[in-house]
Amino acid sequence: LGSAEEYTVFEAELVGILLGLRAKKVIGHTPGVDNQAAIKALSSKSKLNKPGHHIAAEALNTTSRTRKTRGKRYALTIRWTAGHSGILGNEKVDSEAKKAAE
């Protein structure tokens, strides 16, 4: 994304969620996210008028578009996961995210 002076972990988490949604890799899966603020920003009750929330809005728009193409039975569930602990492949994702943040 850029330097830590320009972007926050919150924004990076939301971008990761958005990219996953756009890649359609979450269809039939329940993605685990270790950032509760990012999950809360995706809730329908969240106000999307704070810094970084434009990314959450785009993720919600992506989900809406997917629902239109997949039908009303499409549902997305995102679960909170403590630091991606014990989830196959997420240690690698976490390592790559840390490299990208440097």
Number of DSSP helices (H) and strands (E) in the chain, helices first: 4, 2
49 is written with which tokens?
A: 């008028």
73 lies in some domain:
yes
Would 42 be classed as within a structural domain? Answer: yes
Mean pLDDT of 12-24: 85
Q: Which of 31, 97, 36 is nearest to 63 (CA)?
A: 31
Say what the pTM is: 0.74
For the stretch 30-72, pLDDT in tens is 778 888 998 888 886 666 677 788 899 999 898 888 888 888 7
In a domain, 1, yes or no: no
Domain count, the chain: 1
> What residues does 79 pair with on adjacent strands?
32
Residue 59 within any structural domain of the chain: yes
pLDDT given at position 101: 60
Tens-digit pLDDT profile for residues 70-84: 887 777 888 888 876
Question: Containing domain of residue 28, as a range?
Answer: 9-94
List Cβ neighbours of 60 (8 Å cut-off, separation of 6 or more). Answer: 42, 48
